Structure 1
Amino acid sequence: MIARPTTHRWHNENDIKVVALGGGHGLAASLSALRRLPTDLTGIVTVADNGGSSGRLRDELGVLPPGDLRMALAALCGDDEWGRTWADVLQHRFSSEGALHGHAVGNLLIAAIWDLLGDHVSGLDLVGQLLGAQGRVLPMAAVPLSIDADVRLHASPEEITHISGQVEVATVDGHVLGVHLEPSDPPACPEAVAALDAADWVVIGPGSWFTSVLPNLLVPGLRAALGRTSAKRILVLNLGEQKGETSGFSPENHLEVLASHAPELQLDYVLVDLVLHDGSKSLAAAAKALGAELIAADIAMAPGSAQHDPLRLASAFHQIMVQA
């Protein structure tokens, strides 16, 4: 039998208040890194997924898509036996010939608790307590959202096409020109706004640029909080282009797109992998245009990997936060 921890890590007044924004594997990497530091940690998660298990639950039950929230909670599980076991349980997917095929256990658990409590935030807090999560997970908005995009398709580059849906935008065979949310003025999660107002540090990215990173900046309440918070802001760049969504993008392109979608947003640091940095003056200039200092560090899982290493990322975060 696995022994449940008898104590939890209580935050103290010396802990750094950190808020990380994003979704999917990128946000999970940041949270997994940040929970290793003495932080009072909150993850704010995009809620626009319309595919797979999340999309099915969203359509059938009218709830927020739970998938990215589940991944964030799993990333906050501890490294003891209890935490590792619950992380595996949350991420386990059924494989069958029936209706359960493809559903993640964590998605069903979260949806069930929401159904019982009738409140998204209270439900996520309860799941976090069950897991012994080393931080809090919140949705970026109080309602499910759709991501819409203007795209120049490779098959017809002379035309600009409008597409709708997170999955559709993420996999489009074309050049994404810009994204917006539907509804365009969604209510921000009040607890997420409060976390940003109280933060010492805000971490944005990495992740799918148009469908995980930028959507948080398009929620008016979060955007306003990002503008007024006294927290220092770190942007973590992806380790390369993402097929479909950011095909052909350089690191500079990622910064240019962010600036075009949130022109008033100022950053303090842009964190990039050493291999991508390569002494690039243009990348440093693009960071400076956002008010940021460019920091290069070894943060990839391995040379050429598309995944960030949580331990290396934790070391980079620590160096930035200590030196600031």
Structure 2
Amino acid sequence: MTALRDGYDALLLDLDGTLYQGPQEIPGAREALAAGEQSCYYVTNNASRRPGEVAEHLTELGFDADESTVVTSSQTAARLLAENVAPGSPVLIVGTEALADEIRHVGLRPVRSFEDAPAAVVQGHSPATDWAILAEATLAIRAGAVWVAANLDTTLPTERGLVLGNGSMVAALRTATSREPLVAGKPAAPLMEDAMRRSKCVRPLVVGDRLDTDIEGANNVGLDSLLVLTGVSTAVDVLRAAPEQRPTYLASELDALNRPAEESLIGEDNRWSVEFDGSDLVIEPTSESAAPVDSAALLRAVTAGAWKFPDFSRITSTTPTVSAVVSGWGA
């Protein structure tokens, strides 16, 4: 059997919502990755922790990781700043000390006040971000400082559910300054480009749980992608996905990497008929069967139809088992 992963020389893996939720591993993720030989690089938009801390967390959960295989948006943000301001320049930090460390590593000087005349502002997620530091950043940006955002994630998955992410804080500064930041993290290209350089891969597969970051980020640099439904994006999100956010493969869990690629490829499936009646997508099985409906397989088939007819209103079926699965998607 040729597994999906066998067509690629490296896996560029998201973390939150893909491998773990907060402090807990997503069930089966560790075993799924351990079953293959490809190099794994952990590519995260979260700029709040040092790469070594991320690697330590992954190792504690049983994943094979070290600092060299962790690629963070804070590292990429620091690179962008080093390319845009003079060596030794003061950079106002809106974020954690881990982010400040990355700024030091590229020869820039972290500061926390507008009075230090910052040449740039860098903004990453921190649960301690408050009005005071946002006010300092507003003053600096309005005075002409280069502004780099680690990412624009509006939400952040936790074990308690979705909470506001760095993008929500970036929106506050955007409103206050009428400026747009340079963006390091997914879906912008710089982070993914850094991951590709670090891994020295020729044909990597991007794996993640968010259409608007992981999948769009893969598409922006021309890479294939696998969306797993273990985190933020839902079945309805996939069905309504804009062209730039459409994954190559879709699966309910990470072990799809170890099954044949065609099982996860989004496309028509001869087990179901998907027709557009001018308003709705009508789904019917092509043969009578008592077998349970495979929700993920059905979703892949319906998604192919939904992308072909994006203006559909509803998804319907006269077959009770199919209708029950579709209603569970909330479509």
Common fold by TM > 0.5: no
Q: TM-score, normalised by structure 2?
A: 0.36
Q: TM-score, normalised by structure 1?
A: 0.37
